[in-house]
Amino acid sequence: AQSVTQPDIHITVSEGASLELRCNYSYGATPYLFWYVQSPGQGLQLLLKYFSGDTLVQGIKGFEAEFKRSQSSFNLRKPSVHWSDAAEYFCAVVPGNQFYFGTGTSLTVIP
Amino acid sequence: GAGVSQSPSNKVTEKGKDVELRCDPISGHTALYWYRQSLGQGLEFLIYFQGNSAPDKSGLPSDRFSAERTGGSVSTLTIQRTQQEDSAVYLCASSLGVAGNEQFFGPGTRLTVL
C-alpha cells in the first residue's frame, strides 16, 4: 500500500539557520510529489511539486526539494529560515488522483 | 475571492446531533476532496468526487458520514449522530481533476462535539 512518512514530528531551528524536512514514500512507481505548508489559522498552501525531469525543484518562499529515486525521498530544504516559516509542513504523494499526505512536521523558529 | 470556501468556519454541536458542512470549490474544478485533520495528525482522506463519476468513499470512517456534490459544484459533508471523536477540522480541496494537479484547499471547518 502507498504510504508517506515524515519521520520528524517537530523541528526547532534558529532564524537564519538552514532547514531540511524529510519525506519518504512507499510506492512502486514514481508518483507526483508535493509539499504543502499550513500556517497557524491558515489553509494549506502549495510550496512546490515534482512531476518529472529535473530532480531539484524550486518553490515559493525560497524553498526547494530534491527527489531521490534511489531513496524514495523528497526532502524539503531552505538555506536560511525566517521567523515567518514557522508552520506545519506536509508532504504528499499522488500515484493517481488521490493524495496521500504525511502526518506533518511542525516547525518552530527561534530568534 | 476565487478560492475554495467552506462554511461554517466553526461549528459546536452536542453529541448525537447531525451536522452539515459545506464546500464551494473553485469554479471549473472537476475534482473535490474532503479531508479530516485531527489535532496533531495529518490529513485523513474521506471522500473524492471527480466529475460525474461515482465518488470514492473509501476514506469515510463510518456510515454516519456521507457527502454529496450537487451539479458538479457545491459539496456537503454530513455527519449523523455526531460523537466526540468526530471533533476535528474538516478540510475541502478542489483541483482540475487531471492526475497530479495541485489541490487548492479551503480554510476548513472546525467541528467541536460536546
Per-residue pLDDT tens over the stretch B66-84 = 999 988 799 999 999 999 9
Query: pLDDT grade, residue A50 (50/70/90)?
Result: very high
Q: Across the interface, do B102 and A46 touch by the CB < 8 Å criterion?
A: yes
With a CB cutoff of 8 Å and minimum separation 6, the contacts of A67 are: A30, A33, A50, A55, A56, A57, A73, A74
Nearest CA in chain B to A34: B102
pLDDT at B1 over 60: no
pLDDT in tens, A12-29: 999 999 999 999 998 877
Q: Across the interface, do B106 and A34 touch by the CB < 8 Å criterion?
A: no
Q: Across the interface, do A102 and B42 touch by the CB < 8 Å criterion?
A: yes
pLDDT of residue A96: 74
Nearest CA in chain A to B95: A97
> Mean pLDDT over all residues of chain A?
92
Measure A7 CA to nearest chain B CA, in Å. Answer: 12
pLDDT of residue A1: 63
With a CB cutoff of 8 Å and minimum separation 6, the contacts of A97 are: B31, B48, B50, B97, B99
Of B100, B106, B108, the CB nearest to A94: B100
- H/E segment holding residue B110: strand B109-113
pLDDT of residue A22: 98
Q: Across the interface, do A97 and B48 touch by the CB < 8 Å criterion?
A: yes
pLDDT of residue A100: 87
pLDDT of residue B102: 86
